[in-house]
Amino acid sequence: MQKVFERPKSLNDRPFHYCPGCGHGIVHRMIAEAIDELGLQDRTVFISPVGCSVFAYWYFETDNVQAAHGRAPAVGTGLKRANPDSIVISYQGDGDLASSGTAEIIHAAARGENFTVIFINNAIYGMTGGQMAPTTLVGQATSTSPYGRDPKFAGYPIHISEMLATLKAPRYIERTSLNNVANLSRTKRAIKKALDMQNKGEGFTFVEVLAPCPTNWGLDPNESIDWMESNMMPEYPLGVYRDVKTAEVKS
């Protein structure tokens, strides 16, 4: 008997516009599945700021608010405080969150705002032409660092999960990856856990997802997974960086 895999009801049937091998579509489905499994669709507000996911409102059958570049945590703060019963999801890329929105994410986490951030880290600016991002690896070539990132000129990559884990207020911070089936499952569980904790009013939750960007890396989808495993994952170790319930903090 043939099994049919249907989209979650929180996603519509519109085909994704993302490049082949991109991780955004995978994470979109995971978020939608988690929303539906927890019964949160009617209360969810999805924030899609500037970046490849700027058109997320095309796909999610939830309320949606657009935010200026980097400002999604500030928008999320206002939405959640104005309507505490809503489920607020701030979906951000590394150029958006780790560059333009550094102040917003740090202070929202420091305040312990009760919303969830899904942070897609592909070590590059995706939508605007493949420029160097705060997460770009040392030696990684981009359109603005054609000879590779030089730490003497541009500094070292910023580790967002580790940085936020130094704050007292965040409740749950985990870094996952999309490189294999086991880590796909871990990513889905992390997203669902973060949303469940928000639903229970437990505070700020943050899931960082290492994802491929084959187009701007100049690789095919299979090569991009290999590159992610060989280069990104040693720089950005996977794991739980804060989970207040289990008193686990990874330094």
Task: Give the length of the chain.
Answer: 251
Annotation: CATH topology of 24-249: Rossmann fold (3.40.50)
| pLDDT for the residue numbered 214 | 93
> 39 pLDDT exceeds 80?
yes
Q: Containing H/E element for 60? A: none
> Domain map of the chain by residue range?
24-249
| pLDDT for the residue numbered 12 | 92
Structure tokens belonging to residue 10: 């929180």
CA nearest to 123, candidates 115, 113, 111, 131: 131
> 178 pLDDT exceeds 90?
yes
Confidence of residue 245 (pLDDT cuts 50, 70, 90): confident
| pLDDT for the residue numbered 132 | 87
> 234 pLDDT exceeds 60?
yes
**pTM for the model:** 0.94
3-state helix, strand, coil in the chain (%, to 5): 40, 20, 40
Structure tokens belonging to residue 135: 């997460």
**Mean of pLDDT values over 23-27:** 95
Question: For 142-164, what is each residue's pLDDT tens digit?
Answer: 888 999 999 999 999 999 999 99
Separation of alpha carbons 177 and 35, rounded Å: 20
Question: For 88-125, what is each residue's pLDDT tens digit?
Answer: 999 999 989 999 899 999 999 999 999 999 999 999 88
How far, CA to CA in Å, does 162 sit from each of 106, 170, 173, 249? 12, 12, 9, 10
Q: Average the pLDDT over each of 4-8, 40-44, 119-123, 201-205 and give the range with the smallest value.
A: 4-8
Separation of alpha carbons 240 and 242, rounded Å: 6
**Mean of pLDDT values over 210-236:** 96
Separation of alpha carbons 123 and 210, rounded Å: 8
Going 217 to 223 to 225 to 229, the CA torsion angle's sign is negative
> 247 pLDDT exceeds 60?
no
- Strand arrangement, sheet containing 116-121: 63-66, 44-48, 87-93, 116-121, 205-210, 172-177, 239-243, 248-249
Count other C-beta atoms under 10 Å from residue 1's C-beta. Answer: 3
| pLDDT for the residue numbered 54 | 86
